[in-house]
C-alpha cells in the first residue's frame, strides 16, 4: 500500500487507490457506457493491470488518480485526479465516475478538489482535460469547473485516440473556484 495524500470534501474522500478498489474499477470498466471514452470495456485481468498502472504513476510521478469514496456509504465512486503519463501533451486533471453515481455532483466535487491539489500542492500553472469530442458529459463537467475548449487537439500516445484539449490557468481557476463555492 502506498502512502499519499487524502483529500476530503463535504461528501467525498479521495485517497491513493488500493488493491481493495479492484471491484470498483472492474465495475467502472465493465460498463460499456461509462467506459466508452476511457479505453472501453475491459475484463478483470486488464482492469487489474490498469489499477497497477495508476499505482505505478503514483510511484513514478508522486501523484495520480485518486480513488473516490462516498464518505456516508463507503461506496467507490470513481477515479479522479492529476495524470501525466509519459508523452502526454501536458499534465491533466481527469475523471471517471461510475454510472450509478452520475448526476449526484460527485464529478465536479472531486475534480475541484484535485484541481486545488494540482495548483496548490503540485504547483501547476495550468490544467487541461483530454476530452473526446463526442463526450458531452465530460464537456459539461469541464464547463462547470470553468474550463473551456482550448481550440487544439492532442493524440494520446499509445492509445491512437485524438481528443479535444480543454483547460484553464491557475489565475482562471482562482476566479472560477469562487463560483463553485457559491
88-109, pLDDT tens digit by residue? 889 999 999 999 999 999 999 9
Model confidence at 180: pLDDT above 80? no
Q: Which long-range contacts (CB under 8 A, 24 or more apart) does 101-106 make?
A: 101/70, 101/75, 101/77, 102/137, 106/11, 106/12, 106/68, 106/70, 106/77, 106/78
Model confidence at 182: pLDDT above 70? no
The pTM assigned to this predicted structure is 0.93
Model confidence at 181: pLDDT above 70? no
Amino acid at each position: 500500500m502506498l502512502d499519499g495524500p487524502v483529500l476530503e470534501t463535504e461528501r467525498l474522500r479521495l485517497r491513493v487507490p488500493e488493491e481493495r478498489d479492484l471491484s470498483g474499477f472492474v465495475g467502472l470498466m465493465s460498463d460499456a457506457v461509462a467506459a466508452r471514452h476511457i479505453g472501453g470495456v475491459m475484463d478483470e485481468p486488464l482492469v487489474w493491470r490498469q489499477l497497477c498502472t495508476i499505482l505505478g504513476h503514483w510511484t513514478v510521478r508522486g501523484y495520480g488518480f485518486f480513488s473516490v469514496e462516498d464518505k456516508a456509504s463507503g461506496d467507490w465512486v470513481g477515479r479522479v485526479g492529476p495524470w501525466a503519463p509519459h508523452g502526454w501533451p501536458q499534465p491533466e486533471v481527469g475523471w471517471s465516475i461510475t454510472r450509478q453515481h452520475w448526476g449526484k455532483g460527485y464529478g465536479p466535487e472531486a475534480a475541484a478538489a484535485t484541481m486545488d491539489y494540482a495548483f496548490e500542492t503540485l504547483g501547476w500553472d495550468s490544467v487541461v482535460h483530454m476530452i473526446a469530442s463526442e463526450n458531452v458529459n465530460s464537456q459539461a463537467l469541464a464547463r462547470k469547473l470553468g474550463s473551456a475548449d482550448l481550440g487544439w487537439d492532442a493524440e494520446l500516445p499509445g492509445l491512437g485516440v485524438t481528443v479535444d484539449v480543454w483547460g484553464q490557468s491557475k489565475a482562471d481557476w482562482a476566479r472560477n473556484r469562487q463560483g463553485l463555492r457559491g
